[in-house]
Amino acid sequence: MAVCRFYHTDERRTKNMNGTFYGIGVGPGDPELITVKAYRAISACGTLVFPSKTKENCYAYQIAAQICPEIDKKELLFFDFPMKKDKKELAKVHDAIYEKIGRRLAAGVDVAFLTIGDPMVYSTFDYIKKRAAADQKEVCTLSGIPSFCAACARLGIALGEGKEQIHIIPGSYEIEESLGLPGTKVYMKAGKKLSELKQMLLTEDARAKWEVYAVSNCGMPDEKLFYSAESLTSEEGYLTLVIVKEKKR
C-alpha cells in the first residue's frame, strides 16, 4: 500500500500521473470522530465515491458533510452495492463500478471512497480496492474509528480485558453457533436478526452466563444505548450493534 501523499489534481495531470484511490473511514456517526488525515484527504480529492444510491440515504455522506461542507462542490458518485449471493453477478456490478472510478484515476484525479466505520471492516470498499490494485493504481487506506470501539466508549465498558477473546460477527452470522464462542462477542449490523438474538439472550441459561449491551445509531442524533437484553426492541434499525460479555465469576 502507498504512503498517502496529497497532490493537486492539476499537478498530477502535468506530471502525467494516475490519481490515487483512497479508502476513507468516516467513523461510526459523530462527525468529530473523523480523523485529521481523513479530513485532509477528503478535502484534497476531486471525486468522492459513496456506497449508496443517493446522498439522502447515505450514512457516510451525512457524516462527512457535517464537517466537510465543501464536498458538495466536488464530483460525487453514488453507487448501489446490492447484497447478492451470486458471485458472478456481484463481480459484474463491482467491475462496472470500478470502470467509472478507474477512468478518473487514469485521468489523474484522486478518488476517495468514503465508508462508515473503518474501510477494512466488512466494507464494500475492499471489492473496489482489489480492482484498483490489480489495475496498478496507487491505493491508500485511511482507518476510521470502528463502531464497536465507539460503542464501548459510549457504554462505558471494556471491549476486552486481560486474556479475553474478542469475536466480531457480521449480520449474516449463525447466532446459536456464535454464542458458544468464549469471551466478548460483537454482533455488527444486527437489526435484521435482533429479534432472534434477543430471544436467545433471554433464556435462563443465557441470563446466568452473559451481560448484554447494545447501541443503535452510535454517535448519531438518534443514538440509543441499551444495558440489557430485556431493553432491546426488534424495531431498532440496521445500525444496531450488540455486545455480549461473559459475566465475571
CA dist., res. 38 & res. 143, Å (int): 8
Q: pTM of the predicted model, to two decimals?
A: 0.88
Query: For all residues of the chain together, what is the average pLDDT?
Result: 90
pLDDT score at 15: 59
pLDDT score at 128: 97
- Among 58-72, 96-110, 190-204, 220-234, the minimum mean pLDDT is found in 190-204
Whether 50 shows a pLDDT value over 70: the answer reads yes
- The mean pLDDT value for 190-197 works out to 80
pLDDT per position as a tens digit, 114-162? 999 999 999 999 999 999 999 999 999 999 999 999 999 999 999 999 9
pLDDT per position as a tens digit, 12-28? 555 568 999 999 999 99
Whether 2 shows a pLDDT value over 70: the answer reads no
Q: Give the CA distances from residue 78 to residues 43, 97, 113, 129, 145, in Å, rounded to whole numbers and listed in that order.
A: 18, 10, 10, 16, 23
CA dist., res. 112 & res. 58, Å (int): 15
Whether 78 shows a pLDDT value over 80: the answer reads yes
pLDDT score at 6: 57
Q: Count Cβ atoms within 10 A of the Cβ of residue 10 and give its class: 0-12 exposed, 13-18 middle, 19 or more buried.
A: exposed
Place 1 in a pLDDT band, splitting at 50, 70 and 90: very low
